[in-house]
Structure 1
Amino acid sequence: MRIVADRSRCEGLGMCEAMEPEFFEVGEDGTVVVLDDQPDEARRTEVQAAVDSCPVAALSLQG
């Protein structure tokens, strides 16, 4: 599984960071930074919930 961020869509609302701060961070430029784009499969449920929490659909999971 791989986390993909569309930084052009990101509005820096930080829902992903609030839910999974070890994988997401809102950078100094106000857009998401993916800290670990290939999380362990055991974390799929939590990471998927954080991805789904993005109100502008700037995040997705592949694989």
Structure 2
Amino acid sequence: MKISVDFDLCESNAMCEALAPDVFELDDDDYLVVKVADIGPEHLDAVRRAVAACPRAAISLSGSPQAAGTEE
């Protein structure tokens, strides 16, 4: 699965970083950085929680878990 962030909506509230710190972080200027764009099963639950908790609905997931890491 792939993470998409609408940076026009993102307010860098750090909810995603708190829920999935291996995937999201805020840089020194408080801008969101996605450290892992292709989500594997080890991060999927945490990222889904982060997507659901985003106060601006700026984060989304696309693709299916079965298709992660494959190209068509």
TM-score bin (small chain): 0.7 to 0.9
- Following superposition, which runs of at least 4 residues in structure 1 exceed 6 angstroms of deviation? none
Contact 1:6 1:59 in 2 (8 A): yes
State the partner residue of 2:13: 13
Q: Which runs of 5+ in 2 are unaligned?
A: 64-72
The structure with more radius of gyration: 2
State the partner residue of 1:59: 59
Q: Which runs of 5+ in 1 are unaligned?
A: none
Aligned equivalents of 2:36, 2:53: Cα separation in 1 = 18
Contact 1:23 1:36 in 2 (8 A): yes
Cα deviation 1:21-51 (Å, max 9, x = unaligned)? 1100122343321110101034322211111
* Fraction of identical pairs, as percent: 40
Structure 1 vs Structure 2 CA RMSD: 1.3
Instruction: Classify the secondary structure of the residue corresponding to 1:45.
Output: helix
Aligned equivalents of 2:9, 2:30: Cα separation in 1 = 11
